[in-house]
Amino acid sequence: MSLATVKSSATKTETPGGSSAPGRVSAGRRRRILPTILGGYLPLVVIVLVVAVPLGWMILSSFKQVSEIITLDLRLLPQRWSFANYTEAFRTAPFGRFFLNSVLVTTIGATVKVLLAIHTAYALVFVRFPAKNVIFVAVLVALMVPPQVAILPNYILIAGMNGLNTYWGIIVPSLGTAFGTFLLRQAFRSLPISMLEAAEVDGAGHLARLWRMVIPVTAPSIATVALVTIVSEWNEYIWPLIITTDPNLMTLPVGLTLLQNNESGPAGYGVMMAGAVIVILPVLAVFAFLQRYIVAGLTAGTASN
């Protein structure tokens, strides 16, 4: 058995960055027999349970009436499955609208951010201009500015430009991207210069080189940046909270908190559960659908640092 694994790992191709080609998972591990059950299956089962139980509980609760949630006598399944919480949630707050807003903000925001990250990283690595390293450090430092710091001044600026309760007001301030730039710069640095110089000799300009050569090769890293950017755009909470007062402009996480009410007593908890499900479920669904590609892309792409 060991000979076969030696052979298969010897034929594995490696890009200069040290990461395997996208999608191909390393086969170099020995098969363990009995330990497979304990070492293999058990942790996996535990992992899946640890994640699934809280989420499953939330989903089940959303179908219960409040008196079944706020009780000492918990049951797993609802006595009577009821959609009342959902209808109430949609009635109290425009969740359909929230969802659309989130989709809009995330799509535009993430696309722009990823494009900016790609171009900035390319410029930092392949274009000659003065003070490059200083600028890169400045970009890194931007990563360390806590969001708190930016909120009030940004609010004053955007509000002063009449950006309150507008889509651009929500999207624009977070467009400057440092994380993506950082990660992609590292990825681009690991590319062989020779490849690009050959293309330059051939007469290809920067843009052509970027789009035809650099991007295809570093696709896994770009996918990683895209994923992290999409996730963080979708889950943005503080800034959209401050910059929107009109529920028609709010995104899902912000809208969710609207379901709580002061002094309303416990009656609102069922609706809140439904709201939480509405916020979490779309992301989970998309994720479940794409997880094969996402996880493979991540495992192939993040090793190069």
Considering only residues 146-205, where is the footprint of another protein by CB under 8 A?
Answer: 146-157, 159-161, 164-165, 172-178, 181, 205
Residue 246 Cα distances to 19, 198, 249, 255, 287, angstroms: 47, 55, 6, 10, 29
Tell me: does residue 120 bind another protein (CB under 8 A).
Answer: yes
Q: What are phi and psi of 203, to 5 degrees?
A: 100, 10
Minimum CB–partner distance for residue 213 and another protein (Å):
16
Tell me: does residue 114 bind another protein (CB under 8 A).
Answer: no
Kindly write out the interface string for residues 92-111 of this chain, putting x where it contacts another protein by CB under 8 A and - elsewhere: xx------------------
Residue 26 or 83 with smaller CB distance to another protein: 26
Report the site for another protein in 34-93 (rule: CB under 8 A): 36, 39-41, 43-44, 47-48, 50-52, 54-55, 57-58, 61, 66-67, 69-72, 74, 92-93
Q: Are the CB atoms for 282 and 100 separated by under 8 Å?
A: no
Residue in 123, 96, 86 with CA at minimum distance from that of residue 207: 123
Minimum CB–partner distance for residue 104 and another protein (Å):
17
How many residues at the interface with another protein, by CB under 8 A?
Answer: 133
Per CB under 8 A, the list member of 16, 23, 28, 96 interacting with another protein is: 28
Tokens in use for 218? 């570093």
Q: What share of the chain is helix, strand, coil (3-state, %, to 5)?
A: 70, 0, 30
Per CB under 8 A, the list member of 21, 77, 141, 208 interacting with another protein is: 141
- Coil, strand or helix at 33: coil
Minimum CB–partner distance for residue 161 and another protein (Å):
8
The total of other beta-carbon atoms located within 10 Å of residue 114's CB is 21
Minimum CB–partner distance for residue 122 and another protein (Å):
7
* CA–CA separation, 9 and 286 (whole Å): 33
Tokens in use for 57? 């509980």
Minimum CB–partner distance for residue 124 and another protein (Å):
7
Element containing residue 141 per DSSP (H, E): helix 132-143
Report the site for another protein in 1-20 (rule: CB under 8 A): 6, 9-10, 12, 18-20
Report the site for another protein in 227-266 (rule: CB under 8 A): 231, 234-235, 237-238, 241-242, 245-247, 252-253, 256-266
Per CB under 8 A, the list member of 89, 114, 123, 170 interacting with another protein is: 123
- Coil, strand or helix at 245: coil
* CA–CA separation, 98 and 79 (whole Å): 30
